[in-house]
Amino acid sequence: MTGIVPVATGDQLRQAFGCFPSGVAAVSALIDDRPVGLAVSSFTSVSLSPPLVSVCMQHTSTTWPILRQSPRLGLSVLSEDHRDTCMRLAGKATDRFAGTDWTAAAEGGVFVHGATLWLDCSIHAEVPAGDHDIVLLLIHGMRADPRTAPLVFHGSQFHRLTAA
Ligand SMILES: Cc1cc2nc3c(=O)[nH]c(=O)nc-3n(C[C@H](O)[C@H](O)[C@H](O)COP(=O)(O)O)c2cc1C
């Protein structure tokens, strides 16, 4: 470290944000009887009472305006074996769920099989934040499998978690 430099380009910021590791989650729902979703690395826990988590949705997303119309959203924290699933969920394919096993709850949330955590959520609030919206999600139900290792995203690459 030689010193603090002024923030310049988006690429530099992307590289900076990439220093912070995160998991990856799928946010998905049934829209017109078909699963619709996208991959997010911005998932984070927020509050225990009420139970809230958040994700950040970029304003250029074409999927979020459709997804946010669902009364419930399924949030699946992807496992270390979900690398390809994650790339499909972020990609251009018309059916992002092709080759992915999933389950839909009666209320509309879609959940990816093999995930380490499922959260059945509704939108609690949306806060504009620069070129993204911070979306606060209220948790109605959950299924956690702490023995399933999560996928780790760091420095624009996927990693597996190993004990320090
Ligand atoms: C690892 C990874 C993490 C991502 N995280 C986010 C995120 O937190 N928020 C977001 O809006 N898009 C995120 N994206 C991009 C979306 O998955 C998707 O590619 C983007 O929304 C464009 O697709 P759309 O127009 O269908 O929404 C991420 C993509 C990848 C591969």
Reported as a pLDDT band with limits 50, 70 and 90, residue 1 is low
- Which atom of ligand 1 is the closest one to the Cα of 42? 8
In a domain, 14, yes or no: no
Task: Residue 89: give its domain's CATH number.
Answer: 2.30.110.10
Residue 57 Cα to ligand 1 middle (Å): 8
**What total number of domains does the chain contain?**
1
Give yes or no for residue 67 CB within 6 A of ligand 1. Answer: no
- Identify the residue whose C-alpha is closest to ligand 1 atom 6: 40
Q: What is the mean pLDDT of residues 106-112?
A: 97
Going by their DSSP bridges, the two strands 151-154 and 102-104 should be labelled as: unpaired
- Which atom of ligand 1 is the closest one to the Cα of 40? 5
In a domain, 105, yes or no: no
Q: What is the pLDDT of residues 71-108, one digit of tens each?
A: 999 999 999 999 999 999 999 988 999 999 999 999 99
User: What is the domain extent for residue 57?
Assistant: 23-100+112-151
Assign residue 13 a region (left: φ > 0; alpha: ψ between -120 and 50; beta: otherwise).
Answer: alpha
Give percent above pLDDT 70 in the chain: 99
pLDDT at 8: 76
Give yes or no for residue 45 CB within 6 A of ligand 1. Answer: no
Q: What is the pLDDT of residues 24-54, one digit of tens each?
A: 999 999 999 999 999 999 999 999 999 999 9
Give yes or no for residue 153 CB within 6 A of ligand 1. Answer: yes
Give the dihedral sign, CA 164/116/129/38. positive
